[in-house]
Structure 1
Amino acid sequence: MFGIYSLLALTLATFAIASPALVDRRSFEVKNGVNYTVFEHAATGAKLSFVTNSGVCETTPGVNQFSGYFSVGTNMNMWFWFFEARNSPSTAPLALWLNGGPGCSSMIGLFQENGPCTFNNIQGSTPVLNPNSWNSVANMLYVDQPIGTGFSFGTDNATSTVTAAPFVWKLLQAFYAQFPTYENRNFGLFTESYGGHYGPEFASYFESQNTAIAQGTLSGITIPLVALGINNGWFDPKLQYKAYIDYSLTNPYRSLITSSQATSFTNKYNQDCLPALNTCASSGTNTACENADNTCFNEIEGPISQGNFDVYDLRAKANDPFPPETYVSYLQQSSIQTKIGAQQVYQECPDAPFFKFQATGDDARSFLSTLSTVVQSGIQVLIWAGDADWICNTAGVQAVIAQIQFAQSSQFNSASLAPYTVNGVQVGTFKTAGKLSFLNVFNAGHEVPAYQPVAALQAFTQTLSQKPLSST
């Protein structure tokens, strides 16, 4: 297991040999009573300022953690929290987790879904260790992006999914320079919700940068991307706005609208929403796409979601408390912020980053074609959905995967869904062909790992191991 100082020494030695003209710099500083290690990455100009082993969240003996900031531009401070794997950290793969929004913090995933500690199903104001944490099998990196989200602060230049991708790539470049032991590890990108935009675009961008590096037209560190996982993603508005109607009527739990209402909504979709989305797709202008987003929300999503149900779990009434929001007040405690090195009061899903994306109509843009390209590239891809989520429901997700173009499309689309089991217990249905797998998870809302943590860990492990889903 690498200690922080040996990692720093190896970093400096590596760059002294490989790039004598570029000198990375290391220093230490005390700010507001907190001891930070500061690393300046000469190749990208990025700066890291972080705390080592805060003792917060991950309390498993011998498991290292680092939390703090990547400076990815002038006054652009992107928050990260990194946890070594509980098992075999020196050989375990590396995975990046991103929540969606746009503009929602990845601390949601860390504390409510798949991180080392959790408040789920417990009482009290202090988290407990999560036995099904994804850092059981992988070194996990959680990042708040774009700037302004969560603990991140400063100037926010990301106004769309496409413009957000380079900042995350730059962050990873600085991460590898600081922690070079992870450079050649298999890397997985896992995300959810608006991750239906982030996942395909970020993966595609990483791959294009890798190609440029290999061709010698770009100086950088290759990101060895082997897996992409997206649960309850928002990929394609044409398919998924229509699915709001279908799923609301025919979901496996309870009808949210009547047949006559479904007919009325379908007419509005065909007359107003779909034409607006077509104009967005054909023109590509911010104005057209923002108009499409507003039209479809006002005609379809908004009215249906006003019913007395939780859009993240339709089995519950509006504002359902699961998973609990206890972690928010926990992270807003000044003592916790000091320990982990946070320099900004925590905001789960602040408005400012969201409004920047809204102004470009990013939500109304499809990333289905980009997703197809990523699947065609040969990495392992898992698209999964909790069957009780409404906001990015399984009907819409299944409509999307049926349109993914890759060599095994016909085989994938003709395959029937089979039972997916964990230790002999069925937790959902799945199908797989080539490098693409789909999983429909039973009794799970929007944040699948919160509802079905054991099943989620199994699916994550199989995908990051570059294997298609399989029952156990």
Structure 2
Amino acid sequence: MLVLKSWLLAALVAGAVPALPQDSISSVVKRGIEYTVFNHAATGATLEIVANSGICETTPGVNQYSGYLSVGEDMNMFFWFFESRYEPHTAPLTAWFNGGPGCSSMIGLFQEHGPCHFVDNETTPSINPYSWNTHSNMLYIDQPIGVGFSYGNDPVNSTVTAAPFVWKLLQAFYAHFPEYESREFNLFTESYGGHYGPEFAHYIQQQNAAIATGSVIGEPINLVSLGINNGWFDSSIQEKSYITYALENPYRPLINASAAAKYTHDYETICAPALQNCSTLTTADACRTAADTCADIIEDPILSTGDWNVYDIRRPADDPFPPETYVDYLRDEAVMKAIGARSSYVECPDEPYVKFAETGDLSRSLLSTLSTVIQSGLQVLIWAGDADWICNWVGVHDVANAVEFPGQKAFQHTPLQPYEVDGVPRGMVKSVGNFSFLRVFEAGHEVPYYQPKTALQVFGQIIRGEGVYST
């Protein structure tokens, strides 16, 4: 049923505005799965939901919902929602997005911080005591369409074109679950989330402003924090960090000094000018060329130097780590039916990635958008596990120092200080105002997998608006 705001109800009574179409609830059976169907009149979206599947979250009394948002003709975006284990009726709401571009958020759910995880390559999940729904109601979203369990037509070919579909899903979610409308909302992501996070947050803020002026009909989203671990934000900064990290990381050198000097020269004379050309021309061709050029002269040569994993340099290149036993679990027909999944699970399909690559999205900087979001006063955390090469902490730290906001100079001159969890050093941190950077020790690309207790502490501190501090 449509929930009318008091001002709108008064206007309707007075005859000042026409009656709006009504939301509706029904049921449908598709592929042997029965869904509750919620039609959201304002956006034209349809939510098809199954409740309390008993999969993953087995804590008594904790509700979960999963299913699809249809955002257009044969456009089906999968989501999975878990109530908070504690005080779900007052806890905030957090949305999680994995990166890629084009990787499923089931990675974050099952490998990192969801209610269940797979221990020591077990084939069935067990309860995760460090799940982020300890502190928040959690919403995991497979986007763009074609990723994970999402399926159908995929019009998304860039970070900017992805944002409206995410907003549309959140609008439909709020309409069906109005108890979350006024809650504080947090956006957390990783990897290509260095693109997703700033743009999605900025788009939400823009829509909020448009709703306030009446130019857009919708629910304002009470966005209070943004967290991005091991993110890809700005190629000009982070391509160079591939060289620095390969030489100076805390675990083992991947290249020697003479190789680093050669790569640095190639970066300055070939890669950086190509990236500048992308920034100046902003065309797909220029930005594709920049990505290909830097891969050819920086990334690929460094990758060929030895047997090491780009997501955790301490491990061999072909080591499937973290373990991916959850993939087979999600492809089990019984599990799929229970959670309402109608498409076979695909973790990181090629097609969505290719679409982003073809528009040059990979080389487009999100630093300016990140700066704008931080300037808005949003609580922002950029953090990184220090065993990751692909989005390494050196480059992420350099990005943090390049953010333009009133506290930039103070931030740049603030030294990193030890970050402790229960008195044990787990990283190095610095903060100025609403902006924090954290390096996490002994962690690869997926920080919450390697350091779950640390990640849970950090997550809780940020969504409560406390900043990042040792315990």
Give TM-score, length-normalised by structure 2. 0.96
> Partners of 1:13 and 1:383 in 2: how far apart?
37
Aligned twin of 2:16: none
Aligned twin of 1:381: 380
Counterpart mapping for 1:250-265 below 5 A: 250-265=248-263
Contact 2:198 2:369 (C-alpha < 8 Å) held by counterparts: yes
**Letter paired with 1:398:** H
> Partners of 1:305 and 1:214 in 2: how far apart?
49
> Partners of 1:218 and 1:274 in 2: how far apart?
40
Q: Aligned to 2:21, what secondary structure does the other structure show?
A: coil
Show CA shifts across 1:409-455 (max 9, x none).
11111111111011111100101010001110000000000000000
Change in 2 beyond 3 A, CA 1:462/1:436: same
Counterpart mapping for 1:7-156 below 5 A: 11-14=1-4, 18=9, 20-119=19-118, 121-156=119-154
> Partners of 2:202 and 2:445 in 1: how far apart?
25
Q: How many residues align?
A: 461
**Letter paired with 1:203:** A
Show CA shifts across 1:7-52 (max 9, x none).
xxxx545589858422001101122222210000000000000110
> Partners of 2:355 and 2:93 in 1: how far apart?
30
Q: Aligned to 2:428, what secondary structure does the other structure show?
A: strand
> Partners of 1:420 and 1:396 in 2: how far apart?
19
**Letter paired with 1:250:** E
Contact 1:213 1:219 (C-alpha < 8 Å) held by counterparts: yes
Aligned twin of 2:333: 334
> Partners of 2:417 and 2:440 in 1: how far apart?
12
In structure 1, which of residues 228, 231, 255 is the aligned counterpart of residue 229 of structure 2? Answer: 231
Contact 1:176 1:183 (C-alpha < 8 Å) held by counterparts: yes
**Letter paired with 2:38:** F
How far did residue 322 of structure 1 move?
2.3
Q: Aligned to 1:90, what secondary structure does the other structure show?
A: coil
Q: Aligned to 2:28, what secondary structure does the other structure show?
A: strand
Aligned twin of 1:301: 299
Which region of structure 1 is more displaced relative to structure 2, 180-189 or 27-36? 27-36
Which structure 2 segments of 5+ residues have no match? 13-18
> Partners of 1:37 and 1:14 in 2: how far apart?
22
Show CA shifts across 1:367-406 (max 9, x none).
0010000000001000000000000000100110111011
Counterpart mapping for 1:142-291 below 5 A: 142-291=140-289
> Partners of 2:146 and 2:416 in 1: how far apart?
41
Q: Aligned to 2:230, what secondary structure does the other structure show?
A: strand
How far did residue 314 of structure 1 move?
0.4
Show CA shifts across 1:134-175 (max 9, x none).
001100000000010000001111110011101101110001
**Letter paired with 2:102:** G
How far did residue 100 of structure 1 move?
0.2
Change in 2 beyond 3 A, CA 1:386/1:54: same
Counterpart mapping for 1:399-438 below 5 A: 399-438=398-437
Contact 1:15 1:23 (C-alpha < 8 Å) held by counterparts: no
Q: Aligned to 2:247, what secondary structure does the other structure show?
A: helix
> Partners of 1:305 and 1:446 in 2: how far apart?
16
Percent identity, aligned pairs only?
59
**Letter paired with 2:146:** G
Q: Aligned to 2:418, what secondary structure does the other structure show?
A: strand
Contact 1:445 1:451 (C-alpha < 8 Å) held by counterparts: yes
> Partners of 1:398 and 1:126 in 2: how far apart?
37
How far did residue 321 of structure 1 move?
2.8
How far did residue 467 of structure 1 move?
1.6
Contact 2:230 2:445 (C-alpha < 8 Å) held by counterparts: yes
How far did residue 122 of structure 1 move?
2.8
Contact 2:236 2:275 (C-alpha < 8 Å) held by counterparts: yes
Counterpart mapping for 1:393-472 below 5 A: 393-472=392-471
Contact 2:379 2:465 (C-alpha < 8 Å) held by counterparts: yes
Aligned twin of 2:317: 318
RMSD: 1.2
Which structure 1 segments of 5+ residues have no match? 1-10
**Letter paired with 1:132:** Y
Aligned twin of 1:5: none
Q: Aligned to 1:402, what secondary structure does the other structure show?
A: helix
Q: Aligned to 1:314, what secondary structure does the other structure show?
A: coil
Show CA shifts across 1:123-142 (max 9, x none).
42100010000001100000
> Partners of 1:459 and 1:403 in 2: how far apart?
23
> Partners of 2:351 and 2:154 in 1: how far apart?
9
